[in-house]
Amino acid sequence: MLFAANLGKRFGKRWIFRNVSFEAGRGEALVVVGHNGVGKSTLLKCLVGLMSPSEGRVTFPGEDARSAIGYASVEQSLYGHLTAREHLGLFARMRGCPARDDELADKVGLREALDRFVGEFSTGMKGRLRIALAVQPEPSLLVLDEPGAGLDEAGRDVVQKVCEEQRARGVLVVATNDPLERRFGDLELELAG
């Protein structure tokens, strides 16, 4: 169960959001919507621990956040001098999970590009690799920030499949304003500035 109570985040004196509370259990998907700059990405960073909330708290039971939480964001850069296979291999060793590089490459449609340097990847291919890295440890909480951004139709099908698998495995949180991606959720949280 993902549980957020009275979450608030401010930068300086400006509150980005306040009094955000929700809970989502296994098999549920929460979609966070709201116009640009309202704090969707900031909220997601608070959920995965990349930012500390200014008030309130987030709880998610997990033995080890490295393997319990998967996160993919369009803001997340990758290493241009490493191949996709090296990304999957090295980060699997850091998280203590199997690399499953061939399996994940098939899942996100990167099989032919697995041994190419990420610096040569298109925006969409990088998005697919971010998703592969996020689902690699088979996390019980998957958090996706604008997962369809920069993806073609086949890439969006990948996102849909990944989201369906995650709902069967644990909790899914997606921040988006895309009407198609809003369908993934059975809970919706609208942030208003």
Nearest distance, CB of residue 183 and other proteins, angstroms: 27
For other proteins, the closer of residues 48 and 105 by Cβ is 48
Decide if residue 168 touches other proteins (CB under 8 A): no
Of 36-44, 65-73, 108-116, 155-163, the segment contacting other proteins by CB under 8 A is 65-73
Q: Is 122 exposed, middle or buried (0-12, 13-18, 19+ CB in 10 A)?
A: exposed
Are the CB atoms for 188 and 31 separated by under 8 Å? yes
Contact (CB, 8 A) for 62 and 70:
no
First to last CA, the chain: 27
Interface segment toward other proteins; rule CB under 8 A; list 10-18, 89-97, 148-156, 177-185: 89-97
77 touches other proteins by CB under 8 A:
yes
Q: From CA 11, how far away is CA 80, in angstroms rounded?
A: 31
Q: Which of 12, 14, 36, 63 binds other proteins (CB under 8 A)?
A: 63
Q: Does 5 bind other proteins (CB under 8 A)?
A: no
